[in-house]
Amino acid sequence: MKSIPVTILAILSGIVVLAGFFFPGTMLSVFRIYALELAIILAAFASLIAIANLIIVHWNKIFSEPRQSFYSAILLAGFLCIFFAGIIFTPANTFFSKFSATVIFTVESSLLALLCLSLAVACFKLFQKRKSGLAVVFGISTIIFLLTFSGFFSTAIQFSWLKPFLAIINSLPLAGARGILLGISIGAIVTGLRVLIGADRPYSG
């Protein structure tokens, strides 16, 4: 019962956006822009709260968990270093941007590279647990698209039939991908409608 006004607020804000789209040039479209702007600001502030919460958790960890305190201290050191550098010198500062880019992109790229090694092992074990027809289709598909996406056959111009064959092969995942996209869209529509009719209230948690 307590969340009824909040639910009404959620429904109203959704309806304003929808109405602004269907009735352009009216006051509803103006309200729609304001609602969107408000949502952007609030989402950003929510992100900031999430960051603050993360920092508080690690700050508490330093004092509560001695084993994890070193890593939490490293995390806090990195955060404070970047945060104060950015706040004081603005994001245009070279140190800020370089240090951020170096750490973030290096670690992210390295993690993805690490994933590559894990995927190599996974490819070897592809048929260890799964021996069904789907696994066979999956394995064959993987091999074929590794070849096509990497341009393995693009250098073999001597085979005239290769071009239409590659075109057909490239179209094969289209059916499944379209089905998946349609499914995702239907799911998103249903979920959105449930929120707009008040059946789902993820905001009242």
Partner 1 sequence: MAQIALIVAKTMKNMKICPLCKKENLEDAAICINCGFDLNPSFSADQPDQPDWLESFRNDPESNVRDSLTSDPNSSGLDSSSEDSPDWLARVRERKHVDEEFEAIQDNHNLQNPVLPNSKGTNELIDSFRNNSLSTSAENAGADDLIDRLRNAEDDNYSSEISAESGLSNKISSEDAADLTIDDDWISRFSQIENSSSEEPQKVIPKNRGSIPAWIQQQAADRTPGTTEDSPENPVAEWIEKYGTRDEPAPESGDESKIPDWIQPLDDEDTGDLENGEEEGFPAWLADKDSLPPASMETGGQSQPDWIDEINQQTVDEDQPAPEEILPDWITEDSSEDSSEQVSTVLAKKDIEESEVKKTQSKAPLKTTMGLDENVGKKAGKIESDRSEGIAKPPFQLDQVPSWLENNEDLINTSFFEDKETKEAFVPDSTNQIEPGELPAWLKAMRPLEAIIPAISRLTENKHIERSGPLAGLKGVLSSQDSNQTYSPPPMYTSTLNITEKEMNQAAILDQLFTEDVDIQTKHNPIVDIGAFIIRLIIPILLVGLLVFSSLTQTGLIERPILFPSETVRFASIINGLILNSEAAPQILVVMESEGASQAELEILTRSVFERLMLKDSALSIISSTPNGTLLGENLIQTAAVKHPGYDLDKRVTNLGYLPGGSSGIQGFLLDNSETIYPSAIDEVPDSFSNFSAVLMITDNAESAKLWIEQITLHRPQTVMLVAAAAQSVPMLMPYLESNQIDGMEAGLYGAASYAQLIQNEDSSLWSFWNMQKTGVSVFILLIIAGGLWYLAQFLLKSKLPKSR
Partner 2 sequence: MIQAQLIWSIISFILTLMVMSYFIKDNPLFKLATYLFVGVTTGYIAVILVYQVFLPKLINPFFSGDQQQILFVGIAFILCLLLLTKFSSRFNRWGSIPMAIVVGVGAATIILGSIFGTFFPQIDSTSDYFQLANNNQGNFLLGLYVLIGSILTLLYFQFTTIPSIKLSNNDSKLYRTIRSAGKVFIGITLGSIFASVILSALMALIGRIDFLITFVKSF
Instruction: Give yes or no for residue 15 binding partner 2 (CB under 8 A).
Output: yes
69 or 148: CB nearest partner 1: 148
70 or 178: CB nearest partner 1: 178
Backbone angles phi, psi at 65, to 5 degrees: -120, 100
Contact map string, positions 132 to 171, toward partner 1, x by CB under 8 A:
-------x--xx-xxx-xxxxxxx-x----xx--x---x-
64 or 185: CB nearest partner 1: 185
The footprint of partner 2 on residues 72-101 (CB under 8 A) is 72, 74-83, 86-87, 90-91, 94, 96, 98-100
Instruction: Give yes or no for residue 69 binding partner 1 (CB under 8 A).
Output: no
DSSP string computed for 104-163 = HHHHHHHHHHHHHHHHHHHHHTHHHH--SHHHHHHHHHHHHHHHHHTTTTTT-TT-TTHH
* Nearest distance from C-beta of residue 191 to partner 2, angstroms: 7
Q: Which residue bears the tokens 């950003």?
A: 44
* Nearest distance from C-beta of residue 156 to partner 2, angstroms: 19
CA–CA distances in Å: residue 32 to residues 10, 92, 126, 193 = 13, 33, 50, 18
Q: How many residues bind partner 1 (CB under 8 A)?
A: 55
The candidate with the shortest Cα–Cα distance to 98, out of 77, 81, 75, 114, is 81
